[in-house]
Structures are given as C-alpha cells and as structure tokens.
Structure 1
Amino acid sequence: MSDPAGRLNIQLRRTAQGRVCAIDSTRPVMASRLLVGRTPMEAAALLPILFSICGKAQASACVTALERADGLTPIPVVQAGRQRLVAVETIREHLWRILLDWPRWLDELAERADMADMLAQTKALFGVCDPDGQLFRPGAGGTVIDQAAFDRLLNELDARLARCLFGLPADHWLETIKDGRGFAHWCETTGTGAARLLRHLLDSGEAVIGQSSVAALPEIPDAELIARLTAPDGAEFIARPTWNGCAHETSPFTRRAACAPLPDLVSCYGRGILARLAAQLLEVACLLAEIRTDLADAPASTPVESGIGIGRAAAARGLLIHLAQVEQGRIRDYRILAPTEWNFHPQGVVAQALMGLPDAGDDTLKRQAEHIIMATDPCVAFDLTLPTDD
C-alpha cells in the first residue's frame, strides 16, 4: 500500500565520474486542491486535518492567505497569539528529533519519557494560548488567556529543557554558548544526550560532513510569488522549486545563521552537520525566549491582486507558503509550497551535501547520509539506497 503522505526516494550512486545523488518524491504536493470550492471558514477548519504535520504553521499560513485575499488584517493580539502557537509547535517538532532520533546515532535508547512530558507540556500551552480554538479562523477576534497559567507552563517547559537538553536554563545556555569556544566547552562538560552527540561529532571529526554551498532562500515579494505559483507550470514549480534558476535552502540553519554561535561554528566546521544540529538546539532556546516577549505584529497587507492572498509561516523545517484565490465567497484556487520541496530538490542542499561525503565503505556512507538527511528533516519517510554502476 502506498504512503498517503508520500515518500522521498534517495539514491546515492558511485560512478566512474564520481558520486551522483538522485532524489524523487511521491509527496502529494497538489493535495491542497481539495480545498477548492469550499468557503474560507470551511478551508481554515479542514486544512490542519489534511496537513497534520506542523498543523499550527499550516493553519497560520492558511488563515493569513485567506484574510489577505479578503483584504483583512488581524488585530495585533490575534497575530501575536498565532505566532506564539507556531513557536510552541516548532519547539515540539525539534524535540521530536532531538529526543527520539539523536540518541540512536549514539546507539542509545530514545528519550521517550522526556518526549512524552514535552508533548503534554506543549499540548497544555496550546490549550492556554487558544482556549476556544478560534485563533486560526478568518477574522478571529481577541482571545483572553490565563496569563498566570501560561507563565507557569512556560516556566515548567524551561525547567524540563534545562534537565534533559541544555543542562541549565535556556537563557543561561544562550549566554554560555555565545561563541565557538563556549559551545565546545558546553559540549565537553554537559551530560545531556544532545551535548554528547555534538561532542561525538567534534571528537570523531564528523562535524564537517555534509557541506553545502546552496544559498538561503531570499525574501520574495508577494507579487512575484503569486505570478510564479499561478503560472501554467505552477505545479512543476511547487514540486521542484527554484528561484532565478537556482535551488535554495530554507531551514532552522538559514533562519538562525546570524545568531551566535553559528557564525563561529561555520567558520570552524563549515556549513555541515554540526552547524545544522546546533541550529535546531539554538532555535529551541531562542523561541522559548521569544515566546516570553511580545511577538512582532504582522505588517498590514492588502491583496496584490483582488481576491488573491499569500500566507507565510516559519514552520519547523523552513518557510511554508500558502496561496489562496477566493471568488464570491468560495476558494477558486489553493496552492502550498513547503520547505521539503526546496531542501530536497534534486540540486538542493541535501543532494549537494550527500554528493560531498568523503569516500567510505557502504555502512559508513549510508550512516552518514542518513544523518545528513535527518539533520535537514524531510518530515516524511524516506528510502536511501546506494546502488553501484555495473
């Protein structure tokens, strides 16, 4: 039976001319067409069910696109609430990888009990931040949250992260690792699973594997995005997107590239696996700090073209883009451009990183390749094969 979420089929082939990477996807990138013909309110309710992974980010991009198609701008408290929910979800998504997948790289057991605690914690935060479940409905009004409960839950989350991830409160950790030397010292002296994995990469020399020079996705104006997404070959663009003829990366690494200690890590170890894993840890700590503050309001926006809106959300794996076209109260067209299509483009960051792996036996090569794939996080299952030319 086929996987309804689709899969990535990745081949890393040795040839006489060098290593070649081929990436094919069966992801249903046009599944958003199921929203066509529905009202905006129906679409906003259905979309997080259709796209359950990063459901808050999907809902945020969806409602933004729908509201902009109608010329609506959410009130500041609503926009802040939506951003807060997406941030909590992003923390949860990073923890899935850090607590469940990273330990296996060291042949250790997944930290399931800690992850269960984190799931309960983030679910409780969702409930406090959006008690009536209406924040992602078009034209939502203000929601009064229980601030005392919110602060308590956030403090509990910080304490749990200190125990199982950072070894100290997140804000203190950010001060500790503000340069490459501090980061290395933290890796060497902290006993959490995350610190041990990063220390292993440093000690083994594998911190540098997975290099890529693929540039970060630039800021693209709404009008240009609309034109490209609705062009006759828009479906092909969504499946294998490029901009100005080039593949681009959108990820926690590109989002946090300017935040210490990433510039130092890139200077020492390049744009490889150490920097990418460190970016995920860094984003967890930064988001926790950002959730405590007043999040920035979205700029006022009107449709670039009557009845068409673009919505963007900083999802865990990169920039998520939705386009909605609404006519006479019904959706005429709906398109989604997900970060996986950028990052796992056949000429994208993962393909380049895999082709640049050092020569090694099949077992080592496959292990390193799987780690690079997981560090970029495709959000769907993947098959990795290492065929050879006869």
Structure 2
Amino acid sequence: MSDPAGRLKIQIQRSTTGVRCTIRSTRPVTASSMLKGRSSAEVATLLPLLYSICAKAQSYACVGALESALAAAPAPGANHRRQLTLTLETLREHIWRMLLDWPRLCDGTPRREALAGLIAQTRALFGLADPSGALFKPGGDTADFDASAWLQGCGAVQSLVVEQVLGRPIDAWLAEVVGHDSLRAWAESTATEPARLLRSLIQAGESALGDCSVTPLEDIEHAALAARLTAEDATAFVAEPRWEGAARETGPLSRRRGSALIRALEKSTGKGLLTRLSAQILEVAQLASLLRQPGEADQAASSSFGSPEPGLGLAEVEAARGRLVHLARLAADRVLDYRILAPTEWNFHPEGPVAMGIAALPDDEDARLRRRAELLIMAIDPCVAYDLDLAPARKRLAPLAEGQDTRPSTLQ
C-alpha cells in the first residue's frame, strides 16, 4: 500500500525588504477518513500500514484513541511497553537524521554502516517488546519477552549513541553540557558528526539564524481539542492548525525547553539553529539514558489519553517530530469518524516556525541562503519529502550619480 504522505512545497522569494517564505502542502490530511465503517481491530491493523513514518507513534496514538472510545483498559503494563517502543522509535528517527543528513550540510561523511546497525538493532528490539504482534491492538498483549536480550539490545543502542553522537558517556555528557560555553567546548573537542555540525555553526556565526517568535504548543484540554477536531471546519483546522488564533510549534525544542541547556541557549542565541539542533542531541541523550531505567517515564514526552464523551476517544502522543493527535468516534465497535492531527501541520504551517524562521534569514547569495534554509528545515524535520524552490537573486543596480537623469529615454 502506498504511503499517503504527500510533499511539502517550500518557496523562498526575495523582495526589497528581505526574504519571504511560502509553504504549500500536498499532504492528504483526510486520508484517515478511509477508516470509517471499520471495526476497532481492523483500524488498529490498517493504520500503521497507511502511515509508515513513525509507525509506532501512529500505532500508539491509534490504540489509545480506540481504547478510550471503547472505555476499554489496556492489559497491565501494555502502555508502559508501548511507551518503550516509542522511545526507541524516537531515538532511531533522530539518530537517522544525525548520521545521514546532518553530515551533508557540514562537509562530513554520512555514517551509513552505523545507521544500518541502528536500524537492525531497533527492529530486533521492537520484536522483543511485542513478541505476539498484539501490543498495539485494543487491549494489548504483554506476553513475556527475553529480558536479557532486551537489555543487551538497549546496551548496543546506548553504545552507538556514545560513539556516533555524544563522543563520551551519556551521563557525563548530560552532567557537563548545560550551557552555551560547555556546549561549545564539547563541539570543539568531539569528532562525531553532530558535534561537527554544531562546531561549524558556531565558527561561522550562524548559531542564531532562523530565530522566530512562534510559541510552543501548550497542553490543551481534551474536551477543547476534541471539539475543535469535530467542528464543521475540522478539515481546514487539521490542514493548517492554529490555537487561540496563532500558529504554534511542537517537537524536541518544545519538549526540552525546560532543561538548563535549552534555557541557556535560548537566552544567548534565541530559537535559532544552534538551539534547535542541540535540543535534538539533548533528547537523544536523555532518551538513551532512560533505556537503562525502563521503569521511569520521560516526563517531557508523556502521552495522554481520554474520552471527552461516551464513544469518543482522544490520544496525544509525543512522536519524534512533535505532538501527534488521534481522535476516534465509535458506535457498536464501528468507526463513525477518525481524525489525525500530525506535527508536520503545526511546524510547516504557512505562519509556523519554518516559514517564519526562513523569513528571518538574511538575504545572501543563492548557495548560502539555500544551505541555511535546508539547515532550518532539517532542524525542525518534516516527516515527508519536500521541494525547496529558491527564487534567483535580483541583480543589484549601481548607485546613481548625483543629478543623474532617471527619466526613460525616448526615440527621436
């Protein structure tokens, strides 16, 4: 089955006042309507096939919404194991970008072999966490799994984080890198690709580029969010969401903004490139640390489920790129309505952080402006492919000499 992800069309235009960015999306945000009329079991099976990117997050949000609508409690421990798989998926998605895409923008070398090992290891761990294949079905299943193999696999993921991302033990990095100066010292003394990228930004004076005033998406009461997702204009809201009249952003920067490192970076460089990329590295370190303490939850990325009214279920899950919302309305175990609000629609809103961040970039020659725009797009990270169109720079006219006649000439 084809992935209904669509594409983002990002266009940069120049004007006399600077840079302007427009974003159009071909994402079929109503694709979930094909779930109508199906049973909860069918929906739980079909949905992760429709949405292949962040499939574990999609599955978790789906089963959470279905169970809430059915007033059915999951099996003991099911949500905990679901959250563990979500942690692994988020780690994989972040590290994937760091090893494959980040090097491209700082003359580094993609770490394809390390990435292949990570993908294989997380796939094996997903299988261990869900040996029966029913963990993300309504009710869930927490069949026993090989705890020894699980710990070994988690250790391998942690080792990769140390070797390929942090360049030092996870706890040491978390304790040492707590502000701008310590981050810079780490970037200058570490040979990993993420450190290389941050070092290049700092040395080029690009740390604050892309700073904008779009505010984070705060917690929303389930009843208020459900009302918005079931209103007559719900389709328009899902396509270009606003909350309280304003575009918002969601993702690692929003989740980690309470940490000492991100607070310090926002104070020194705003919500520019350095802060955004550092938030992803910080999230990798914190989530990798949690793998050794699987009984503890990540409070910055907790999931939320509820039933604002009988037969209506709502789930909010913090996926790698931001908050993912699923809403399901059921009657007699048949779906009457299903809505999905994905983080891409917040972050790549026409007035969201990507559009506003690119508009804040200084006008420059094409190659440099394109690279900086790509850095910002990557720092916020769409879950779909995108096309970046850069209008050519306008030819600059030589200044007029004093008293020069500017009237158009006429033929005699």
Q: Distance in 2 between matches of 1:357 and 1:241?
A: 24
Range with greater deviation from structure 2 (271-280 or 8-17): 8-17
Equivalent residue number for residue 126 of structure 2: 126
Which among 372, 378, 385 is matched to residue 374 of structure 1? 378
- What's the CA shift for 1:290? 2.3
Equivalent residue number for residue 275 of structure 2: 275
Length-normalised TM-score, structure 2: 0.91
Question: How has the CA–CA distance of structure 1 residues 80 and 257 changed in structure 2, closer, same or farther, with 3 Å as cutoff?
Answer: same
What letter is aligned with 1:251?
A: G
**Number of residues paired by the alignment?**
389
Q: Distance in 1 between matches of 2:366 and 2:304?
A: 53
Equivalent residue number for residue 49 of structure 2: 49
Matched, 1:330 2:334: yes
Matched, 1:345 2:349: yes
Q: Indicate conservation of the 8 Å contact 1:14/1:20, yes or no.
A: yes
Range with greater deviation from structure 2 (185-194 or 297-306): 297-306
- What's the CA shift for 1:150? 1.2
Q: Distance in 2 between matches of 1:282 and 1:226?
A: 32
Equivalent residue number for residue 367 of structure 2: 363
- What's the CA shift for 1:5? 2.2
Equivalent residue number for residue 401 of structure 2: none
Q: Distance in 2 between matches of 1:379 and 1:28?
A: 13
Equivalent residue number for residue 33 of structure 1: 33
What letter is aligned with 1:294?
A: G
| CA RMSD of superposed structures (Å) | 1.9
Equivalent residue number for residue 239 of structure 1: 239
Q: Distance in 2 between matches of 1:30 and 1:18?
A: 35
Equivalent residue number for residue 187 of structure 2: 187
Q: Distance in 2 between matches of 1:261 and 1:332?
A: 45
- CA deviations 1:5-32 (Å, max 9, x no partner) are 2111111111234422111000011101
Q: Indicate conservation of the 8 Å contact 1:72/1:302, yes or no.
A: no
Q: Distance in 2 between matches of 1:171 and 1:157?
A: 15
- What's the CA shift for 1:301? 6.1
Equivalent residue number for residue 400 of structure 2: none
Q: Distance in 2 between matches of 1:144 and 1:178?
A: 39
- What's the CA shift for 1:168? 1.5
Q: Distance in 1 between matches of 2:369 and 2:329?
A: 46
Question: How has the CA–CA distance of structure 1 residues 226 and 366 changed in structure 2, closer, same or farther, with 3 Å as cutoff?
Answer: same
Q: Indicate conservation of the 8 Å contact 2:12/2:21, yes or no.
A: yes
Q: Distance in 1 between matches of 2:13 and 2:354?
A: 14
- CA deviations 1:262-292 (Å, max 9, x no partner) are 1111111111011111111111111122232
Equivalent residue number for residue 408 of structure 2: none
- CA deviations 1:103-129 (Å, max 9, x no partner) are 111223311001001111111111111
Q: Distance in 1 between matches of 2:23 and 2:156?
A: 41
- CA deviations 1:73-107 (Å, max 9, x no partner) are 32451110000000100000001110000111122
What letter is aligned with 2:160?
A: R
Which among 296, 303, 307 is matched to residue 307 of structure 2? 303
Gaps of 5+ in 1: none
- CA deviations 1:135-175 (Å, max 9, x no partner) are 10101143322221111111121112211111122222111
Query: Secondary structure of 1:206's match?
Result: coil
What letter is aligned with 1:349?
A: P
- What's the CA shift for 1:218? 1.2
Q: Distance in 2 between matches of 1:33 and 1:389?
A: 43
Q: Indicate conservation of the 8 Å contact 2:366/2:393, yes or no.
A: no
Matched, 1:73 2:73: yes
Query: Secondary structure of 1:85's match?
Result: helix
Query: Secondary structure of 2:77's match?
Result: helix
Query: Secondary structure of 1:242's match?
Result: coil
What letter is aligned with 1:387?
A: A
Question: How has the CA–CA distance of structure 1 residues 301 and 6 changed in structure 2, closer, same or farther, with 3 Å as cutoff?
Answer: closer
Range with greater deviation from structure 2 (93-102 or 18-27): 18-27
Displacement over 4 Å in runs of 4+: 296-302
- What's the CA shift for 1:293? 3.2
Q: Indicate conservation of the 8 Å contact 1:73/1:301, yes or no.
A: no
Length-normalised TM-score, structure 1: 0.96
Q: Distance in 2 between matches of 1:259 and 1:52?
A: 31
Q: Distance in 1 between matches of 2:27 and 2:140?
A: 32
Q: Distance in 1 between matches of 2:343 and 2:304?
A: 25
What letter is aligned with 2:187?
A: C
Q: Distance in 2 between matches of 1:343 and 1:300?
A: 21
Query: Secondary structure of 1:262's match?
Result: helix
- What's the CA shift for 1:200? 0.8
Q: Distance in 2 between matches of 1:9 and 1:299?
A: 31
What letter is aligned with 1:205?
A: G
Q: Distance in 1 between matches of 2:286 and 2:76?
A: 22
- CA deviations 1:282-327 (Å, max 9, x no partner) are 1111112223231449899652111110011110000000000101
Q: Indicate conservation of the 8 Å contact 1:324/1:331, yes or no.
A: yes
Question: How has the CA–CA distance of structure 1 residues 233 and 365 changed in structure 2, closer, same or farther, with 3 Å as cutoff?
Answer: same
The aligned runs of 1:1-390 (5 Å cut-off) are 4-291=4-291, 292-296=293-297, 303-387=307-391
